[in-house]
Every structure is written in C-alpha cells, then in structure tokens.
C-alpha cells in the first residue's frame, strides 16, 4: 500500500515569526540574567528588561520564572540528544563514544548555569525533577542505542537497559561532582577516564588505522 505523501511544513506567518522571535528573546535574556545573578536572585523583571520586552509579553509565553528556565533545560536536553545522534557511528564505537562523552562533559562548561539550576532546584521543584529525569532518560536511550548498534559487548547475562541507566547516572554524577562547584578534575580527564572505562565494560575496540 502506498504511503501518503508528507505535506511540506508551511512557512510561518509574520505574526508567528514575531511571536517566535519574542519568545526566543526572552529565553536568551533569561540565560544572561541567570549567568549574571544566579537562579535565586533572577526575577521576571530582570528578564523582561534584558529582553527589552513588556512584562505582559512574558506571560504570553511563560507562567513563571520556573517555567522559562524549565524551557531552557528542555532546549539543552534536545540539543545534547540531537548532537549525540549526529556524532554516533556504529563502525567506530570507541571513537563515537569518546565524542559523545566529551559533548556531554563539555555541556557542564557551556551550560554551567543551567546545570547548577538542575542540580540545586530539582530538590524542591517537581518541574525541574521532571526535566532532570527526562535528561537522564535521553542519555540512557543514547547509550542503549549505542550498545545495540555496536553489537560486540560483554553484557551477556546483564540487562542492557539497566547497564545503560547505571552508566548514564555515573556520567551525570561524575560531571556534577567534579565540574559544577570547583573543577576538581579537568573535563579532558573525565572524558579520557570515562571513555576508557566504558570502552572496557562494553568491549569497544579501537578502529584499526
């Protein structure tokens, strides 16, 4: 049976373009405010002033400070997931693993302020708890797909879903422990050691030259 042709996405109207631009301006401003004063001291007034938008415009898009920062965390999650998918090459699992881990580790520098929000505010915010769980789930899914595509592993007798969950938690907690509050380890050291450790666990072999 023939599949129905997919319709091409329709271009946004001028009003839709203005609405999208206004929302993005608020998101960009929220990041700047977060980096300047931290989550606790950030206010909606600061955000709209930095975005050069009216306060009422904020409430067209977001209901609270919590919601706009949750939206930024969602953006970060999608960005990491899409970048990781683009990197992965099943014919070079160890190299792909290194690139994927480095991407995630580097995010703790590039998106440092957002990771601080996630690490601190998720203790008291159900919305941030959901964002943290979704980010962990996305990382777990990427690891699981990598294991499946690489094929040759030493996981006989182990649940690959549970292994993926444990490895995801290991990477997240390692980065949070050593990069969020003092840079006790360099990002390169974390990437090197995590790649070597996971490579041995998953039996990923270096690609022959």
In angstroms, the CA 157 to CA 139 distance is 23
Q: How much is the pLDDT for 202?
A: 85
Q: How much is the pLDDT for 146?
A: 86
Q: How much is the pLDDT for 1?
A: 45
Contact 175, 122 (CB under 8 A): no
In angstroms, the CA 58 to CA 54 distance is 7
Stretches where the chain sits below pLDDT 50 are 1-2, 209
Other C-beta atoms within 10 Å of 147: how many?
21
**What interhelical angle do 187-202 and 160-179 show, nearest 10?**
160
Residues 6+ apart with CB under 8 A from 103: 80, 83, 84, 87
In angstroms, the CA 26 to CA 29 distance is 5
According to DSSP, residue 64 is labeled S
Contact 191, 102 (CB under 8 A): yes
Helices of type H across 52-183: 55-61, 65-87, 93-110, 112-121, 126-150, 160-179
The shares of helix, strand and coil residues in the chain, as percent rounded to the nearest 5, are 70, 0, 30
In angstroms, the CA 185 to CA 175 distance is 9
Q: How much is the pLDDT for 182?
A: 82
């Amino acid at each position: 049976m023939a599949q129905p042709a997919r319709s091409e996405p329709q271009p946004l109207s001028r009003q839709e373009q203005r609405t999208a631009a206004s929302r993005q301006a608020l998101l960009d401003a929220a990041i700047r405010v977060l980096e300047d004063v931290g989550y606790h001291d950030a206010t909606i007034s600061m955000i709209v002033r930095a975005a050069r938008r009216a306060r009422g415009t904020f409430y067209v898009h977001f209901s609270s400070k919590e919601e706009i920062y949750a939206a930024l965390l969602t953006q970060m999650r999608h960005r990491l997931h899409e970048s990781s998918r683009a990197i992965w090459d099943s014919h070079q699992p160890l190299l792909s693993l290194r690139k994927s881990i480095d991407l995630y580790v580097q995010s703790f520098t590039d998106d440092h302020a957002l990771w601080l929000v996630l690490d601190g505010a998720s203790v008291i915010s159900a919305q941030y708890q959901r964002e943290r769980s979704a980010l962990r789930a996305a990382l777990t899914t990427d690891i699981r797909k990598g294991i499946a595509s690489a094929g040759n592993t030493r996981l006989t007798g182990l649940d690959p879903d549970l292994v993926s969950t444990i490895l995801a938690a290991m990477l997240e907690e390692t980065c949070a422990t050593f990069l969020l509050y003092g840079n006790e380890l360099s990002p390169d050291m974390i990437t090197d050691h995590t790649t070597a450790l996971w490579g041995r666990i998953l039996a990923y072999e270096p690609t022959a030259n």
